[in-house]
Chain A
Amino acid sequence: DQQVKQNSPSLSVQEGRISILNCDYTNSMFDYFLWYKKYPAEGPTFLISISSIKDKNEDGRFTVFLNKSAKHLSLHIVPSQPGDSAVYFCAASALGSNYKLTFGKGTLLTVNP
């Protein structure tokens, strides 16, 4: 069973517009959520995270929103740039085993110039 779901395998946006990547989870024990970005032939790199005690975290062009009641989080990138084109993974960890991340399948974002 997939505890972290990214239902959109791909997303294409125009440069300068907003990119919204979505993620749903089923495990109510998850209390920390992260987004990783992955370029081809490279390992994932940490992008942004959010604790379950918050509903929003912002870092420059990147904002993560958490809706605990809906078990949903989203990553907003504004404005999108061609260099943002990558696979974005949503991940979550549970209290008591915070080192063990559960990842979604990823969403391939393409930002067109």
Chain B
Amino acid sequence: GAGVSQSPSNKVTEKGKDVELRCDPISGHTALYWYRQSLGQGLEFLIYFQGNSAPDKSGLPSDRFSAERTGGSVSTLTIQRTQQEDSAVYLCASSSGGRTNEKLFFGSGTQLSVL
């Protein structure tokens, strides 16, 4: 497809389990972002990848959260030992990369529910 693809679209898990969320950015985009939106809140920045540079992980809320981007394309966000407060929509976005104030293209998100 032409857009940012995220999977799964919905994930229900039990507290304490680990989850992996996947993002396929737009082909050729070198910049990739993860945001999350908790209920009633705005989008919250989590992490930013740009090319081969070290990612900006300043938005990750705890050390239970990690993300990697393999081969400069697909990214996986991993949440270990999930907690109920991790329930949110996790949104991935990509942009062409390397320029100031680029337009972000968002995927449809993964709705994570931690029971």
Binding site for B on A (CB under 8 A): 4, 6, 32, 36, 41-46, 49, 51, 89, 91, 93, 97-106
Residues of B within 8 A of A91 (CB): 43
**How many residues of B are counted as interface, with CB atoms below 8 angstroms from the partner's CB atoms?**
28
Of B31, B107, B109, the residue contacting A99 (CB under 8 A) is B31
Residues of B within 8 A of A49 (CB): 101, 103
Q: Find the B residue at minimum CB distance from A51.
A: B101
Least Cβ distance of B46 to chain A in Å? 10
29 of the cross-chain contacts (CB-CB < 8 Å) are A4-B42, A6-B42, A32-B101, A36-B106, A43-B4, A43-B91, A43-B105, A43-B106, A43-B107, A43-B108, A43-B109, A44-B106, A46-B103, A46-B104, A49-B101, A93-B101, A97-B56, A98-B100, A99-B31, A99-B102, A100-B45, A100-B48, A100-B56, A100-B58, A101-B43, A102-B45, A103-B43, A105-B40, A106-B42
In the bound assembly, the distance between CA atoms of A93 and B43 in angstroms comes to 13
Residues of A within 8 A of B35 (CB): 101, 103
Given contacts A32-B101, A105-B42, A106-B42, contact A99 B33 (CB under 8 A): yes
Binding site for A on B (CB under 8 A): 4, 31, 33, 35, 40-45, 48, 50, 56, 58-59, 91, 93, 95, 100-109
